[in-house]
Structure 1
């Protein structure tokens, strides 16, 4: 087993390093060949050269694909840095220009961000960078990290209920802090007088969940008081919930920005919950390989500007 510092540089070319990084992302040689427009034998040959160079298998065959060895995981950030430096050197003094930039931007976002942030981003890009196309995908936090790692998306926006900051493979930028409110149609009796847990427990509830019944913040608070709520309807998306809310006497717990921005459109009203806490952070997350990518740095700044206008 050899470290990258022990390798004879004359035996290395950029292609085998790019094959290595693509294999780390996809874990399948067919996907690597497709992405790099190489034949599978060419990919296999490149991997063989890498194994000989490092005196290590690098990738072990498993039923689900190729599994990186410990050395491969150690090498990835170093190879990423090599490719970044080479790329920057070749670009020379060329500067990023949003007006002339032409690319497809792949963004994975949760339902909340697809509803709240993506429309604002598309409108902003149409003005400042008209040649950038946005491809937005619905994604959950546990899927987002794999999608970033495998290069399937460029950026993920959402609430991550596990540590992202401190993970050397990802860059997480906090966009803003959000909290939940209780919403219902305007004129609903729940808004008469002070909102309490008892009043909330007496109403029929609408739950937003793509996974079926789950306990949310309100459930947990009610449990502590020995109270329960009646989940009358479960839907997978925010806009479906808002449409139902407008035409029913159901109540729902949802993020404040969504409630505030849709009050007039759906004829709803909202109130802060009578419980402590309930806040959560929204992050924009990208892979470390894009640390020096001027497009991604610029995009993160655009997102920060958009959410701070709120």
Structure 2
């Protein structure tokens, strides 16, 4: 057994752990100080204690803020569990029981989340708590954040670029990183090998967008190299896109999990995009007023589990 005297537990307190988690969220000491009502020197001192304890810098200074080291990423789920256990000691044990609680959980999500995450979550909820009903609403970006502010939903799932002035109003947690791929029918000549930017500029594209014709990072990557994407069709949903590309010469840019899950169902194949940074972080967002709600903690724990499958 490890001699506990050799572990300097005196360097750890709840505030230090909360500061660590806040740094993982915000990546800026000034934002952590503002969120927790501390001075910036207090945050810096706590970070110094953590670095001494783990013998690792934990956060590296970059132009855009603080970048967590690999050890910081490894510690985050463990420290989150510790904080959760401490929080449970302060909760009324009769306050929430998933087997006996009867309520609605309202989730804002859009096409990708509705096809990849929500089905797994609903199946999990039916097994764990038959009296809790899941209601999904097709909110995206600012619509979802506005619904959280006004209490119309309990949780939003998606990719969010929350304005700095509003960050204190929300609790944001990363679920996983998703990457985009290029997909088309199984015998599409472009997809027999990994396509180049030149290949992509020569073929006809389908765009999935609920807001009509827009330009994104794929178009920007092509533009920088002097190319332009030929978008011939725009549809608002992923499933309509899959049905179309299965029976046409169009190709479409999709999240990789969608292409993998539906490859056999729609008889499509996919290849990596020839651009860098072709991904996004799927996030779960709660309003700050629900940060300590046992019901919302339970929902988030189940969401993390099904999202990792």
Query: TM-score, normalising length from structure 1?
Result: 0.68
Residues 164 and 170 in structure 1, CA contact (< 8 A), matched pair in contact too: no
Instruction: Name which one, 1 or 2, has greater alpha-carbon Rg.
Output: 1
Stretches of structure 1 that go unaligned for 5 or more consecutive residues are 1-87
User: In the TM superposition, what is the alpha-carbon distance from 1:231 to its structure 2 partner?
Assistant: 0.8
Residues 180 and 278 in structure 1, CA contact (< 8 A), matched pair in contact too: yes
- CA deviation string 1:186-233 (max 9, x = no partner): 111012234101111111100001111111221111101111121110
SS state at 2:213 partner = coil
User: In the TM superposition, what is the alpha-carbon distance from 1:133 to its structure 2 partner?
Assistant: 0.6
- In the other structure, the counterpart of 1:296 is 296
Residues 165 and 172 in structure 1, CA contact (< 8 A), matched pair in contact too: no
CA distance in 2, matches of 1:186, 1:194: 14
SS state at 2:167 partner = coil
- In the other structure, the counterpart of 1:239 is 239
- In the other structure, the counterpart of 1:255 is 255
- In the other structure, the counterpart of 1:193 is 193
- Runs of 4+ aligned structure 1 residues displaced above 2 Å come to 161-166
Label 1:194 to 1:176 Cα distance change in 2 as closer, same or farther (>3 A). Answer: closer
Residues 194 and 271 in structure 2, CA contact (< 8 A), matched pair in contact too: no
CA RMSD of aligned residues (A): 1.8
Residues 158 and 283 in structure 1, CA contact (< 8 A), matched pair in contact too: yes
Residues 194 and 272 in structure 2, CA contact (< 8 A), matched pair in contact too: no
- CA deviation string 1:228-269 (max 9, x = no partner): 121110000111111111111100001111111110111110
Query: TM-score, normalising length from structure 2?
Result: 0.68
- CA deviation string 1:42-86 (max 9, x = no partner): xxxxxxxxxxxxxxxxxxxxxxxxxxxxxxxxxxxxxxxxxxxxx
CA distance in 2, matches of 1:306, 1:293: 20
User: In the TM superposition, what is the alpha-carbon distance from 1:99 to its structure 2 partner?
Assistant: 1.5
Stretches of structure 2 that go unaligned for 5 or more consecutive residues are 1-87
Mapping of residues 1-310 of structure 1, within 5 Å? 92-163=92-163, 167-309=167-309
Label 1:166 to 1:151 Cα distance change in 2 as closer, same or farther (>3 A). Answer: closer
